[in-house]
Structure 1
């Protein structure tokens, strides 16, 4: 179906819904690289006006990626609950935006709506929303999940503690982990990106993390972010796997580039669930996404990068994950050129994930060759916190020494928690008070002296080094 509009003395024509969505997207380098972006601000505005008048019903009869060729498209059709869309089914995209910003769209109505929405609808409405709109709607969504603690609760801010090491050295990982714990990081997950993807290294890392978790009696979950097939083999070998991790994208072809399919993800989900390691819940999957993943694999099917990103959330929600985060600036300036584009993308991703019912987090990050700096990250972090982000990632000094990119520091999370009064997960908060990391004024004490963590610090030398 073609769409057209007159604006500025020009008749603008868009041959397909995917063209409207691409041209309506706020400027970003990835869409320009793919030849999909609007050629001018005027064309972008014309496309946004057209998009605002498109009925949501059009999204139900138009596939951006062919149904016959793509299992993600088939999943989107299969998982949608038509009845849940009823309150907004007759609206246009512009009217849907107005409804989302109204008092009628409260926590309960948004939760009930999520199963009826398609990713393309959600991506579409995000393209005609200001940053403040994206924040206001996302803040109304509460998507609670649980494993050893409860995440996604309103008014709280969780963190993934990322104690990566360039050689996967056990003592280096443990020292970095304890450094983060002392500053209150780690309630979302203690998660290590391994250098190698061998089953042996994966198993050693999860055993190390589990040993420290048990020794310190921390109500959190652990994860080695190896490939999903490595996790399956480690589970079969008896490794203490809490969460299974995988990077995912918005098309079958892009996911093949990651070495996964929906069938493989189902196998991993069943394997992790079979261990029954959760104590307060059973959400066992951890997914990472990022705008540009499908384009970088030449698997975007002519669809703009933000819409393809949102399609990845359909894959995630099929497995009821504990954690989902966009690594918003990690892929590089070829896809998000500067701080302005990274900030916009982070808010879009968070909004779209929350609206689709996910416990959405964000790695607030950039690479050193992007036109961005830590001030941009401070801005995005503050905005996401006000928007109710489920969790962010923190590393020592904002600099991941293994992945070589810039993220948030443990100190950043401390500062934003103090500014906003947002504590970590309730079980983790109780633990921190019990072991002396939270004082009677609810202030964190980044000092191991006099706490049970001191013995863990002293025992680092006894930890097994990698073979």
Structure 2
């Protein structure tokens, strides 16, 4: 079918292939400009979207953006495609699919049944035709439920990752940050540490401390040290307490190779974690992080726009039935998402695409200090994503990660979202907060003074564990 042409306003726009149509149709972002893929003008962007809207969804099965022979992610996408699940929408164009998604037929049940029939390229394509409110409205209808020690993704609830990073991995410092988060009702998605030193002995020390703290207070939460997946395999072989296995993933084989992983390694890690049988209410054992620009930064994007490559990373995650997935949306920097406007749009796109593909999507609502963004932008994205049915948010003490040196959300932000939108924590975690007398009769988290015996009890226990 290539090349693709569109006459608009007396000017003819020509796109060499499907990759160029997809890239030019994307909302403006600095990463695509850096790669030389962005539309040269708003008129060209509109023309590309006009072309894209008229393309059949099934074209993405016939014309892979990344060659099948060169890329195991493409092979995963096409070989695992569920034709029966795709059948209800297989006759639609991209534009017609957008209309269908926004209509009454696209119920939570219908969207759940459809997920296996959609490819990342299909969902990326339709997202390029949608406004922010469209992305929110459709994602809100998607239901993706996962479980390990807590159950995430249930209606009326939003989870949270407690991120107690420390610049020297000091156990006592981390333990205090964990307690701070727990007192705000944060941590039901995962209590997860980014280690300052990524070594097996250091990771084991952190894991044992977290597991000791969890067992001391019988906390129904899963823990994770975000070490490399090969380290996690070695740690499990040594008998250390691994709950969730973490790995950053991207949308091409070459980009994943840059992360030091491939599909076989991820499969090995998942099977090892399942063999531990540490979950109490479910067996989703994987935790993946992604981010727009990852493939481009590794020079492994194959000339594909960064948002489509991000959606392809979700195919990798989906294959391993994860407990949680999150986009670290503003973390890679302004070279890829320049300002608050681009970060907000990317966060909504990522959540929409991940949820349509059947993933339990969370977000690190964040920005780096050299980006043209501030905490007001993050407040906006956080509120929009929570309205859209986000599975979980990430929060750090004071919204400032002193180890990774970027700005995220605070524990107080999680309280704001839950109280303002009437959302709750995971049911198992909520019940634990009540048992610990940390919840007021009206359901709000109690405001506890430092000398309150409940605080003293937690602090004393954490000091013993650390």
User: Is 1:376 matched with 2:387?
Assistant: no
- Residue matched to 1:23: 24
Aligned to 2:349, what secondary structure does the other structure show? helix
CA contact (8 A) 1:347 1:384 kept: yes
Tell me, yes or no, if the aligned pair for 2:212 and 2:465 is still in contact at 8 Å. Answer: no
Contact kept in structure 2, 1:436 and 1:451, CA below 8 Å? no
Q: Deviation at 1:456? A: 2.7
How far the C-alpha of 1:436 sits from its partner, in A, is: 1.0
* Structure 2: distance between partners of 1:449 and 1:312: 47
Contact 2:160 2:392 in 1 (8 A): yes
1:24 and 1:363, CA in 2 relative to 1: closer, same or farther beyond 3 A? same
TM-score of the superposition, structure 2-length normalised?
0.98
Alpha carbons of 1:369 and 1:172: their partners in 2 closer, same or farther (altered >3 Å)? same
SS at match of 1:223: strand
Q: Where does residue 356 of structure 1 map in the other structure?
A: 357
* 1:449 shift after superposition: 5.3
Q: Aligned residue for 1:394?
A: 395
Consecutive unaligned residues of structure 1, counting only runs of 5 or more, are none
Preserved contact between residue 340 and residue 374 of structure 2 (Cα < 8 Å): yes
Residue 407 of structure 2 corresponds to residue 414 of structure 1:
no
- Counterparts of 1:369 and 1:109 in 2: how far apart (Å)? 42
Question: What's the TM-score once normalised by structure 1's chain length?
Answer: 0.98
Partners of 1:208 and 1:319 in 2: CA distance: 27
- Aligned match of 1:456: 458
Structure-2 residue corresponding to 1:287: 288
Report the counterpart of residue 85 of structure 1 in structure 2.
86
Partner of 2:135: 134
Deviations 1:310-346 (A, max 9, x none): 0000000000000000000000000000000000000
Corresponding position of 1:211: 212
CA distance in structure 2 between the aligned counterparts of 1:131 and 1:88, rounded to whole angstroms: 23
Using the alignment, how far apart are the partners of 1:360 and 1:410 within structure 2? Answer: 19
Q: Please give the alpha-carbon distance, in whole angstroms, between the structure 1 residues aligned to 2:242 and 2:6.
A: 54
Q: Contact conserved, 2:37 with 2:305, CA < 8 A, in 1?
A: yes
Q: Secondary structure at the match of 1:245?
A: strand
> Does 2:147 match 1:146?
yes
Note the C-alpha offset of 1:458: 2.2
- C-alpha separation between the residues in 2 aligned to 1:168 and 1:144? 32
The alignment partner of 1:385 has SS state of: helix
1:449–1:88 CA distance, 2 compared to 1 (3 A): farther
Instruction: Measure how far apart 1:196 and its partner are.
Output: 1.1
Alpha-carbon distance between aligned partners in 2 of 1:23 and 1:186, rounded to the nearest angstrom: 40
Deviations for 1:184-235, whole angstroms, at most 9, x for unmatched residues?
1000000000011111001111111111111111111000000000000000
Q: Distance in 2 between matches of 1:305 and 1:449?
A: 50
- Provide the secondary structure at the position in 2 that maps to 1:56: coil
Matched, 1:189 2:157: no
Could you report, residue by residue, the CA deviation over 1:270-299 in whole angstroms, capped at 9, with x for unpaired residues? 010000000000000000000000000000
Aligned residues of 1:435 and 1:451 also touching (Cα < 8 A): no
**Deviation string, structure 1 residues 139-195 (Cα, Å, up to 9, x no partner):** 000100000010011111110000000000000000000000000100000000001
Asked if 2 retains the 8 angstrom alpha-carbon contact of 1:216 and 1:453, the reply is no
Match of 2:224 in 1: 223
| Contact persistence 1:437–1:451 (CA under 8 A) | no
**1:453: how far off?**
4.9
8 Å CA contact 1:224–1:245 kept in 2: the answer is: yes
| The 10-residue stretch of structure 1 (397-406 or 438-447) with the greater mean CA deviation from structure 2 | 438-447
Q: Which residue of 2 aligns with 1:58?
A: 59
For residue 11 of structure 1, give the secondary structure of its aligned residue in structure 2: strand
CA contact (8 A) 1:160 1:186 kept: yes
Q: Are residues 212 and 349 of structure 1, via their aligned partners in 2, closer, same or farther at CA, if it must alter by over 3 Å?
A: same
Query: CA deviation digits over 1:427-446, x for unaligned, max 9?
Result: 10111111011110111114
Q: Return the offset for 1:461.
A: 4.0
Secondary structure of residue in 2 paired with 1:408: coil
**1-structure distance, mates of 2:267, 2:461:** 39
Tell whether the 8 Å contact from 2:216 to 2:461 is kept in structure 1 after alignment: no
Q: Give SS of 2:304's match.
A: coil
For residues 461 and 215 of structure 2, the distance between their equivalents in structure 1, rounded to whole angstroms, comes to 14
- How many Å apart are 1:452 and its aligned residue? 4.7
How far the C-alpha of 1:126 sits from its partner, in A, is 0.1
SS in 1 for 2:394: strand
Contact 2:245 2:270 in 1 (8 A): yes
Instruction: Name stretches of at least 5 consecutive residues in structure 2 with no aligned partner.
Output: none
2:326 match: secondary structure? strand
Q: Which has the larger displacement, 322-331 or 76-85?
A: 76-85
CA distance in 1, matches of 2:55, 2:304: 17
Aligned residue in 1 for 2:446: 445
Q: Aligned partners of 1:125 and 1:376: how far apart in 2?
A: 25
CA-CA distance at 1:459 after TM superposition = 4.0
In 2, the alpha carbon distance for the partners of 1:450 and 1:83 equals 58
Structure 1 stretch displaced more, 224-233 or 446-455: 446-455
Per-residue CA deviations over 1:119-141 (Å, capped at 9, x if unaligned) read 00000000000000000000000
How many pairs does the alignment contain?
Answer: 464
SS in 1 for 2:58: helix
Partner secondary structure for residue 132 of structure 1: helix
Runs of at least 4 residues off by over 3 Å: 448-453, 459-464
- Per the alignment, in what secondary structure is the counterpart of residue 418 of structure 1? helix
